[in-house]
Structure formats: structure tokens, C-alpha cells
Amino acid sequence: MACEWYKGMSFYQIWIRSFKDGNDDGIGDLYGVYDKLDYIKSLGVDGIWFSPIYPSPNADFGYDISDYKNIHPEYGDLDQFKKVLDKAHAIGLKVIMDLVINHTSDEHPWFIESKKSKDNPYSDYYIWRDGKKGKLPNNWDSMFEGKAWEYMPERDQYYLHLFAKKQPDLNMDNPKVRDEVKSIMRFWLDMGVDGFREDVITFISKADGLPNGLPFIPVANGMPYYKDGPRIHEYLGEFREVCNEYDCFLLGEGPMTTTRSALRYMEGENRTLDIMFNFDHMMADCFLTEYIHRPFNLVKLKKAYSKWQKELNGRAWNTLYIENHDHPRVISRYGNEKFHRESGTMLAASFIFQQGTPFIYQGQEIGMTNIRLDSIDKYVDVSSKTNYHRFHTREAIEKRLERIYHSSRDSARTPVQWDDSWHAGFSAVEPWFYVNDNYPEINVKVEEDDPLSILNFYRKCLEYRKNSDVILWGNYREFFRKDPLLYEYERSYKGKKVLVICSFSEHRMPLLIPKEYKDLHGKLVLCNYASHDKKVLKPYETRVYELK
Ligand code: GLC
Ligand code: CA
């Protein structure tokens, strides 16, 4: 029987390098995490997802792993990890790890061996191909850095990298590689971790022959040949078997996935993934990628939410998130920095009360915002740099930087703002990356003391959700679908109903109530303002009613 415990829970995501520096070298680490476990627990979450904390050259900040069974020395060691794990468990927090197995670092010993020759024990661990008449093996683009192929003179061959050059794709068709994956899973499960978030997992099985993609598609043209590839369910089934030996759960990242293909992973007793991250709702202010920015469109956002709520209902379980380490900060996107507190709290209620397991990303709970850097050289994310140098190169520098401001993953990766002291209390020394200038106003300490703060609102939302069977298990229904400024949804369970009202407007607006409720006969259980008006919503006001 597949595990179910993750359904009632909520999780906090740690991107360790910027979370909290515990030994004052400017880099976040497991000592800092250990010190902040009680804080994490105080939010009302039930578990932690660690973005990669393994040894890595950091070409993609941990998503390029050079040793799967160890901890990056900058973050601590296995003993320190064990301490964090034990304390987390002692205070009732589950811990899940990132499992990045589509690719390794090019500095992983497997790759260092593999690239040496065509006949060594690791030569088939990666996807090597000959060039075609002096050209690349096919026309695929990588996500992060130019074409998806890199030449290695030692083998006189090219290796495939769907992401950065320093992230060669593993050859999952090789049973030895799959055995390595299982051994990695067992290593962490034996230590006591509770599950994995499987990185870009829908990409690990590539179509035979690696056919050319459509040449005119600007992003990821090879995707039809590696997304949900031919042997994906077989391979994930094998990994699932390992997982079933433990009481663990599997969360898969599915870039560009649809409800239809996601259900094939998540439905039924023999599911290979328990839940998945989809990206549909992260596209409400852009086209294809966040780099192609568009004005925020609430109707588009609501459509994505409602689609997943409806189509998974009774068949599979949703994940709920609006931030992680791959997306700019949500207040700067779907909210409004001028109404920082109001929009930050409203955004919390807009997603946490849907059906599914919420994930809160570090700093989201205090409403951290995008950072503005004045030169591309100050950015460190490989995809931001590529985008800057690849597209729109004729535009003025200011315009291009504005695009990066809207899209860079670095905005989610600035040090967490703990207080208003030097370096925002993140570290006693100069941090590895820029602290957002707004840290004197936006930080954990000031928000702890303010009952209306974003921080305290997140706590209230998570607590209310945990204690409400309507929110946990109820059906979902959306009202006023076409309204460009108002998001209203109802949850219902065993005759009980909860109505969530979210204004996305910076102006006051009339409070619309679904006809069937006429006058709101119900108890107001949550509101992000100290007082509320019968007929009017204030800017970015949110309310939650239990209806009679
Ligand atoms: C996932 C990760 C992202 C990483 C990419 C390649 O999308 O979330 O951070 O860059 O995979 O591993
Ligand atoms: Ca440190």
C-alpha cells in the first residue's frame, strides 16, 4: 500500500546556501539549519524539503552533483546532517531530499572515467554519440547553455546535456545506472530520510534514436523526445519498489507537464509518484519561460489552479506552491510591492486553502521580494546569464536588465532576512550573495512582533488548514471565473463549506458573493486586515468564511 501521510502535511523548502550561516563564513549551512529548526516548526509545517546539499561544483548550485552519498563540505558533513535529521524527527518534522538523477556534474567520478574512453566500466553511464558529418548528433537545444551537445576530444564524441554543459545526462537505459540510483536512495533512506523530490524526473528516459526536434521552437525543442519518454514508467516503477521497502514518499518535478500525463504517474495503488510539481500556474505573467515577461493575468492563473484542482480530484493529490528556488519572488510577480503586507498575505490564502500539500519556500513566509542588480556580472545563475546574452541583445542594457529582474532565479536565492542587523542576520561576515536592500523593513524579527505580518498570517493559514477537514479533504469550486481582479473559491466536505475570497486589486472594490449565499451567513475565520467592511474589499484583502 502506497503511503498517504504526506496528504495532510505541509512542507518548508530550504535552499541551504542562502538559508542561515551557522559558522560565519558567509555561506548558509547545516549548522544554521539546526539552529532554525524550531523556527521552521513554529510556522506550522510538518516537513522540510532540502534542495541539494551534496558535494557540487555549483555550476547549477547543487543540481550538478559530484558525490551523491555525502554532504558538501561548505554545508557540514554527514554527522551534522544526522544531527539535523534527528532533531527534525524529534520535533515532528519529516525530511525529504532532492534526488537529481537526470544528470550529474561533469566532475562526478563516473563522468571523469566515462569521458576517458569508449570501453571503460563507466563508458555507458552517459549519453555519448558520434557527430554527424561534422555536425552535432541532433539539433536539440539545452535549457541553460546553447546546444545540448558538447564535444570531448578524448572519445571523439559528444555527450548530451539537457541543462548546463557541466550537467551531463545520465544514460538511464543502462541498468547499472539505475542500480546506482537505487543504491543512492537506500543510502539516504537507511539513514532515516522520509522521501525524495525527484528533479526533472519526467525527462530521464530518452526516445530511441534521439530524433531531431522542430528547429523553430525557441525553448527546449527536443522535449517531445525526452518528456515522458518511452521507458519512464518502467524506470520509475523500479525506483518505487525501493521506496516501498520504506515508509517513504516520492514527489516528482514535471516541467511543462499536463494533468493528463501527470495522472499517469500519480493515479492508483501502483503509482510511481505520489505527487508532482506542475508549472502551469507559474506562467500567469510570462510566455513559455519567465524570461518572456507579460503583464500578470489573474484569469490565466485561476484557470491553471482550477484545472488541476478539478482534474486531480478523487484521482490524485495536488502540490500547492507559488515559490521555489527556480522562480522569482511571488509578491514581485503576482502581488504588489507597494502593498507588500496586503498582497503577501492574500497570496498565502490564495493557494494554501486549495486541495493538496502546500510547500512554502524559504523567505516566502516573510514576503521577500525580487532583487535588482545593476549589472549582469553580479548575477550568478547560469540560466539568467545565458538568457541575457542570447536574446534581445540589441536592446538597451537597462531593458535587458529589467527582463532579468523579472525572471532571474537569483531573486529567490538572496540570503534570508532574519533581522535588521548587518547582513540581515544571515551571517556575521559578507554573505556569498547580495542581500536585498529592503532587509531593515522585511525580516523575520520585525514580523514576529507584528500580529498582522505576512509571517504570522502564514502561521494562521497553516494552522487553520491543518485543523479543517473541509480544507484538507473537501471539493473545490471556483466562482467569478472571468473576473480579472477577484479570486473566490469554495471548499466543501460532508455538508460543511468554506469560502476563500482574494482581491488582486490595489483599489477598493465591491465584495461579490456567489448568488447562492445571498448574504454571507457565516463565521469569518481569517482576514488580513484588522477590520473589514460588509460590502467592500480593501486592496489585496483576503477573507475566509466558514459558511452555515
Ligand atoms: C530542476 C531544478 C533546477 C535545476 C534543474 C536542473 O528544474 O529545480 O533548479 O536547475 O532542474 O537540475
Ligand atoms: Ca557557513
pLDDT for res 2:
64
Among 270-284, 474-488, 512-526, the minimum mean pLDDT is found in 512-526
Judged by DSSP in three states, 252 sits in strand
Nine-digit cell at 495? 455538508
Residue 300 belongs to a domain with what CATH number? Answer: 3.20.20.80
Last residue of a domain, one of 435, 461, 487: 461
Q: Which atom of ligand 1 is nearest to the CA of 255?
A: 7
pLDDT for res 3:
75
147 within domain boundaries: yes
Residue 132 belongs to a domain with what CATH number? Answer: 3.90.400.10
209 within domain boundaries: yes
Nearest ligand to residue 412 Cα: 1
pLDDT for res 357:
98
Q: How many domains does the chain have?
A: 3
- Tell whether 359 and 231 lie within a shared domain: yes
* Cα–ligand 1 centroid distance for 63 (angstroms): 6
- Tell whether 490 and 542 lie within a shared domain: yes
Q: Are 308 and 276 in contact (CB under 8 A)?
A: no
Q: Are 547 and 497 in contact (CB under 8 A)?
A: yes
214 within domain boundaries: yes
* Spatial separation of the C-alpha atoms in residues 345 and 365, rounded to whole Å: 9
Please choose, from the candidates 410, 442, 415, 411, the residue with its C-alpha nearest in 3D space to the C-alpha of residue 429: 415
What is the percent of the chain where pLDDT is above 70?
Answer: 99
Q: Where are the beta strands (DSSP E) in 215-350?
A: 249-253, 275-277, 286-287, 289-293, 319-320
* Cα–ligand 2 centroid distance for 198 (angstroms): 26
pLDDT for res 288:
86
165 within domain boundaries: no
pLDDT for res 438:
98
Mean per-residue pLDDT over the chain, rounded: 96
Identified catalytic residue from 74, 198, 199, 274:
199
- Tell whether 249 and 347 lie within a shared domain: yes
Residue 533 belongs to a domain with what CATH number? Answer: 2.60.40.1180
Q: Which atom of ligand 1 is nearest to the CA of 164?
A: 6
Rounded-to-5 percentages of helix, strand, coil across the chain: 35, 15, 50
Q: Which atom of ligand 1 is nearest to the CA of 103?
A: 12
Q: Are 412 and 329 in contact (CB under 8 A)?
A: yes
Is there an atom of ligand 1 within 6 Å of 81 CB?
no
Scanning 75-156, the segments in alpha helix (DSSP H) are 78-90, 109-114
- Tell whether 431 and 530 lie within a shared domain: no
Last residue of a domain, one of 413, 429, 461: 461
Nine-digit cell at 433? 550573495
* Cα–ligand 1 centroid distance for 61 (angstroms): 9
Does residue 391 carry a pLDDT above 90?
no
* Cα–ligand 2 centroid distance for 141 (angstroms): 36
Name the closest-CA residue to atom 4, ligand 1: 63
Q: Which atom of ligand 1 is nearest to the CA of 324?
A: 8
pLDDT band at residue 181, thresholds of 50, 70 and 90?
A: very high
pLDDT for res 393:
85
- Tell whether 36 and 123 lie within a shared domain: no
* Cα–ligand 1 centroid distance for 406 (angstroms): 18
Is there an atom of ligand 1 within 6 Å of 200 CB?
yes
Q: Where are the beta strands (DSSP E) in 147-270?
A: 149-152, 157-160, 195-198, 249-253
- Tell whether 338 and 272 lie within a shared domain: yes
- Tell whether 179 and 286 lie within a shared domain: yes
169 within domain boundaries: no
* Spatial separation of the C-alpha atoms in residues 83 and 242, rounded to whole Å: 25
Is there an atom of ligand 1 within 6 Å of 326 CB?
yes
Please choose, from the candidates 238, 239, 163, the residue with its C-alpha nearest in 3D space to the C-alpha of residue 203: 163
166 within domain boundaries: no
Is there an atom of ligand 1 within 6 Å of 545 CB?
no
Name the closest-CA residue to atom 12, ligand 1: 63
Does residue 216 carry a pLDDT above 90?
no
- Tell whether 422 and 511 lie within a shared domain: no
Is there an atom of ligand 1 within 6 Å of 98 CB?
no
Is there an atom of ligand 1 within 6 Å of 63 CB?
yes
Name the closest-CA residue to atom 9, ligand 1: 326
* Cα–ligand 1 centroid distance for 521 (angstroms): 46
20 within domain boundaries: yes
pLDDT for res 122:
98
- Give the range of the structural domain holding residue 513, as residue numbers without chain letter: 471-547
Q: Which atom of ligand 1 is nearest to the CA of 325?
A: 9
- Tell whether 32 and 128 lie within a shared domain: no
Which position has the grid cell 473559491? 489
Assess whether 199 carries a catalytic annotation: yes
19 within domain boundaries: yes
Last residue of a domain, one of 461, 491, 522: 461
- Tell whether 381 and 487 lie within a shared domain: no
Identified catalytic residue from 46, 98, 150, 253:
253
Assess whether 253 carries a catalytic annotation: yes
pLDDT for res 1:
52
pLDDT in tens, 45-100: 999 999 999 999 999 999 999 999 999 999 999 999 999 999 999 999 999 999 99
* Cα–ligand 1 centroid distance for 252 (angstroms): 12
Q: Average pLDDT for residues 165-189, to the nearest whole number?
A: 98
- Tell whether 79 and 135 lie within a shared domain: no
- Tell whether 271 and 315 lie within a shared domain: yes
Nearest ligand to residue 59 Cα: 1
